[in-house]
Amino acid sequence: MDSRNHFETRTTYALHRAEWLVALGVSVALALAHLEDIRWPVFVGSFAVIDLVGYIPGAIRFRRSADGRIPKGYYVAYNTMHSLVTGAVMAGLWAVLVEPEWALLAIPIHLMGDRGLFGNSLKPFGIPFEPATHPAFADFEHSYAHAEDPDAPETVATASASAHQVERTGGRATHAVDS
């Protein structure tokens, strides 16, 4: 991936997840080293608010939608709450206005866990709110895998198979956002 090619191969995606897992490990190790100093209500609140504001409302709306369309505001809320910038601002404001404390490690633990363990990052408007393979991405994976080694047997599912999968899931991957 570079400034002109905004995509990830399976390998670069796995490498990015490995980096996030290292950051998760450091955050968890720090929390364990300071376990007795953590104020648990602050920890739990800091961990939970990210999904209470940024994920759960969009997930509910998505599941209730007949066609998978949800307003862009749900994506904005998710991306805002799952941003490392927002996490740093939240922790910084808490440290300045209340006090610096080990409970704030809940923020990087949550964000690094989402990225490293679950592979979730920020959500573009053009994909479903919940994970589903987009037909254009299936096309890309197929084309890219074939371009890397044109003589290799087909190992990536074809785009038409992915498109049929989308049709079987009620078209959710084709209609991600309701403007």
For 17-46, write each residue's pLDDT tens digit: 999 999 999 999 999 999 999 999 999 999
Distances (CA, A) of 89 to 5, 53, 106: 30, 16, 14
> Residue 171: pLDDT band by 50, 70, 90 thresholds?
very low
Give the span between the Cα atoms of 7 and 121, in whole angstroms.
13
Q: Is it the case that residue 177 has pLDDT exceeding 60?
A: no
Q: Is residue 170 packed enough to be buried (19+ CB in 10 Å), middle (13-18) or exposed (0-12)?
A: middle
pLDDT tens-digit readout, 125-145:
988 999 888 888 888 888 887
Query: Which range is least confidently modeled, 49-63, 114-128, 132-146?
Result: 132-146
At residue 157, the pLDDT reads 46
Q: How many CB atoms lie within 10 A of CB 13?
A: 14
At residue 154, the pLDDT reads 58
Average confidence score pLDDT of the chain = 86
At residue 179, the pLDDT reads 52
Looking at residue 96, its amino acid is V
Distances (CA, A) of 42 to 51, 58, 82, 93, 102: 15, 24, 18, 14, 9
Which residue, chain included where needed, has tokens 């922790």?
91
Q: Is it the case that residue 175 has pLDDT exceeding 50?
A: no
